Amino acid sequence: MSIVEAVFVTAAAIVTLVTVNAWRRQNIGKRKVELAEDVLMGFYEARDVFAFVRRRLGAPDDGPTQEFDLAPAEVFEARRSQYYGQHDYLRRRAELFGSLEGLRYVFQVYFGDGANGAFEAIADIRSTLDAAGRELFVQPEPVVGEAEKVRERLLDDLGWGHSARPDDMDRAIMAAVATIEDLCKPVLEGRRS
């Protein structure tokens, strides 16, 4: 092989290598943008699901207006229906939470470990809300003594109790979303991260 041929082969190899690396960076960048969109939208949707579940409007203990004319057994059944409705609402959104959990490790590969706490917070909040709704649904009436304290704690978990809002759970939701925004928005806005 002549020197000229060797130069051409080397130049072709360099051009091919540069082209493949550029293509690879472009595909990784595109995948990172798509992943950032999917995860950020998922966190926004989870935030909205939690807000709906924790909305006080129509909560069982909002006042006597609806329960005033009801017998104690009817009040109990109305409350159970609301607790079950909350649990069912979360259950019907299981695909959202499963999808987020499925994206967690891919997100970690592209964005690092900084988002693990946000993913864990969302999973913990969902679990807490689900457990509170289920426990309240099966709790017998009337509640007295220690059972009444447990019921108040569960209602606070749901955001339906007497605790002031925003509470720790509201702040945890906002912090998880803010963490994901901080990681995703630079990528979505075209800045390097």
Q: Per-residue pLDDT for 24 more than 80?
A: no
Look at residue 105 and give its three-state secondary structure. Answer: helix
**Looking at residue 192, what is its pLDDT?**
54
CA-angle at 128, arms to 123 and 130, nearest 5°: 95
Token pair 């540069």 is at which residue? 18
Half-sphere exposure of 96 (CA within 13 A, CB side): 19
102 in Cβ contact with 122 (< 8 Å): no
**pLDDT tens track for 95-110:** 999 999 999 999 999 9
**pLDDT tens track for 29-72:** 788 999 999 999 999 999 999 999 998 544 444 444 444 455 66
Percent share of the chain, pLDDT over 90? 43
What integer best gives the mean pLDDT of the chain?
Answer: 83
Least confident of 28-32, 133-137, 168-172: 28-32
Burial zone of 132 (CB within 10 Å; 0-12 exposed, 13-18 middle, 19+ buried): buried
Non-local CB neighbours of 8 within 8 Å, separated by 6+ positions: none
Average pLDDT, stretch 147-171? 89
Q: Which of 8-12, 19-23, 50-54 has the highest mean pLDDT?
A: 50-54
**Full-model pTM:** 0.76
